[in-house]
Amino acid sequence: MAEPEHDDAVSSALQRLPRFDVSEPRAEAIRMRAHVELRALTASRRKPLLRAAVRASELAVATSYGLYVLSRIVTLLSMH
């Protein structure tokens, strides 16, 4: 924050100037719009993750079915 070199009279007076603020209705409108964008972005980031999870589970099911079929073939071959 303020450094010691800013200690002349003009600098001190400038440091005491008040803050301005966005008008309340506009401030609320900005906040709401930001929330909407944040929700949309969060949802769009989660979609690929969800798709990847579904794909992984499908792959797992297919793999386990393949192993089952393979084990059945081995079993049948060993009986003969």
Partner 1 sequence: MSSEHELVRRLREGDESAFDALYARYRGLVFSFLMRLTGQRAGSEDLVQEAFLRLVRHAAKLEADTRVGVWLCTVARNLYVSQLRQADVRLRATSPEPILASPALDSPFERAVASELEARLELAVQSLPLNLREVVILALVEGFSNDDVGEILGLRPDNVRQRLSRARKLLEIALSEPRSPTSSMLTQAPAYERAHGRAQETESDDG
Q: Which token pair is 71? A: 């084990």
Nearer Cβ to partner 1, position 25 or 79?
25
**What's the token pair of residue 21?**
């603020």
Residue 57 CA, chain-centre distance (Å), reads 22
Interface contacts to partner 1, rule CB under 8 A: 1-3, 5-6, 8, 10-11, 13-15, 17-23, 26-27, 29-31, 33-35, 37-39, 41-42, 45
Q: How far is the CB of 11 from partner 1 (least distance, A)?
A: 5
Min CB(73)–partner 1 separation in Å: 48
Per DSSP, helices labelled H in the chain are 9-15, 24-79
